[in-house]
Chain A
Amino acid sequence: MIDDHLLRDLTPQILGVLVRRGADFAAAEDAVQDALIEAVRRWDGEAPDDPKGWLVTVAWRKFLDARRSASARAVREIAVRREPAPGATEQADDTLLLLSRCCHPALSPASAVALTLRAVGGLTTAQIARAFLVPESTMAQRISRAKRTLAGERFERPGDVRAVLRVLYLMFDQGFAGVNPGSNRSVGDADLAAEAIRLARQLVASVPRDPEATGLLALMLLHHARRAARLDASGGLVPLARQDRSRWDTAMIAEGVELLQGALALDRLGEYQAQAAIAALHDDAASAEETDWPQILEWFDELTRLVPDSPVVALNRAVAVGHVDGPLAGLRLVEQLDPGLPRRDAVAAYLYERAGDHTEAARLYAVAAETAPSLAERAHLVKQAARLHQARRAQS
């Protein structure tokens, strides 16, 4: 068997070589995909001694073939700069270059995620299509549209790392899309959260002195460590407070904490580091009761300073205030937020329950269930309302 990871690790490297030789991004990306397909076909279970050299040769030939057939009537000379094989530094630069290209602000977030998964992650269009539950032809169009959008953009300088971080965060946060315990996932399907972590690792290797890149990787690991405990056997959501903490991945938490400490030591705080710090404090508690809410609230205050206009941060901060200053203080903050804000009623229900008003809590859980954005959340909220109703019946 050819190691799937070998091919996928090589994907951005080959693409980088082609782009540096003067190929435009869209054509180079197609050529690399063609070369990967040929590798799977021709290697016959065993990689050649120099798989990267083989792939570069084949991909470059594919690129030239496509170029020749595309401009058969007016053959244009292209400048081919023969370059020595790139060293580790150039590879790291290539990764950043390609990531910032795929996460270009001109692209919609969904297009950027799809293009990144293919061009840098080395996934096939079919795998990406399955992860997002759309036909392969639709995903192929989404990717080629994204490439058309990028055509003509200058491609020499690595772009905005912030844009890359946003796209990787989005990819990670959709991580459940690829993994549904209720469905039969076949081997080879994309696990979006794992992909996002893999790409964030490559990014951090490219920009080791960027504390927000490291902060984002830490944030991902600190959340991913809880994954086994987040869903029950039937795919239902298990809230943080009720998770079986013995199922958390302690090695992953340790790595996340170490990365976060390294990032914080650079003394340039940003939102991903602050979010990672909050996740680390949750991960650090042996039980829900032992959660260090005062320190979590301090980090929410930092986060509010960093992203003052985020209603989502304000809502989550209200939960922390509810734990530190009491549920009524938390509710006062929730009441100031836009009634249409997603999860607002769910948070209010939670705080009313903690305040002892179970009637209002049950009502709000039911209201929140009506507008839940996912079936798993709706089922969870309906169960909360049902639990409170059952308790009231038992009392009367």
Chain B
Amino acid sequence: MAKYLLLKHYRGGPRPHPNAEGTMEEWTPEEITAHVAFMQQVADDLRERGEFVDAQALAPEGEFVRYDGEGRPPVTDGPFAETKDLIAGWMIIDVESKERAYEAAAYLSSAPGKGGEPLHEWLEVRPFYGEPSVVE
């Protein structure tokens, strides 16, 4: 088994599919409910398969902070620029293979949007480091 991070970006991924271009405010309330229910269903399905590890969403605001010497306040470069990569949230899964991780990501990306059509949203799939093998 190996863990994978399925990373959802507000911005910064490849050119979006037409279905994923608009914003949620343009959908009907029912479409939003259906979308949220689908995401919940994906998490439940992964749980039922024994593959679910974690899912979290991030608020869009955020600042960069760094150490800048003793006694000096942390430094920030201010709000994100419009072009900057922005992470919306993630799901972590523990699966048998990379192929299975891609399959789960594709399933998550098929969440319905406007008109109940699949969003085709890009998700970044990143493997976690595993443990070193005991047998040399």
Q: Known: A108-B96, A138-B53. Is A173-B135 also a contact (CB below 8 A)?
A: yes
Docked complex Cα distance between A96 and B133 (Å): 27
Interface residues of A in 121-166 (CB under 8 A from B): 132-135, 137-139, 141-143, 145
- With a 10 A CB-CB cut-off, give which of B1, B50, B51, B129 has the most chain A CB atoms: B50
Partner of A172, one of B1, B52, B134, B136: B134
Q: Known: A132-B94, A134-B94. Is A111-B134 also a contact (CB below 8 A)?
A: no
Interface of B is mostly: loop
Q: Which of A3-11, A354-362, A373-381, A386-394 contacts B (4 or more CB under 8 A)?
A: A373-381
Interface residues of B in 93-116 (CB under 8 A from A): 94, 96
Smallest Cβ-Cβ distance to A231: which chain B residue: B132
The interface size bin for chain B is: 20 to 34
Q: Known: A223-B134, A223-B135, A223-B136. Is A138-B47 also a contact (CB below 8 A)?
A: yes
Partner of A145, one of B3, B49, B54: B49
Docked complex Cα distance between A109 and B2 (Å): 12
Smallest Cβ-Cβ distance to B48: which chain A residue: A141
- The reply to whether the CB of B70 lies closer than 8 angstroms to some CB of chain A is no
Docked complex Cα distance between A62 and B94 (Å): 33
Partner of B53, one of A111, A135, A223: A135
Residues of A in contact (CB 8 Å), total 38
Partner of B50, one of A133, A145, A176, A372: A145
Shortest CB-to-CB span from B30 to chain A, Å, is 30
Partner of A139, one of B48, B50, B130, B136: B50
For B133, list chain A residues within 8 Å (CB): 173, 176
- The reply to whether the CB of B21 lies closer than 8 angstroms to some CB of chain A is no
Question: By the criterion CB–CB under 8 Å, are A138 and B52 in contact?
Answer: yes
Question: By the criterion CB–CB under 8 Å, are A111 and B132 in contact?
Answer: no
For A211, list chain B residues within 8 Å (CB): none
Interface residues of B in 40-79 (CB under 8 A from A): 47-54
Residues of B within 8 A of A (CB): 1, 3, 47-54, 94, 96, 129-136
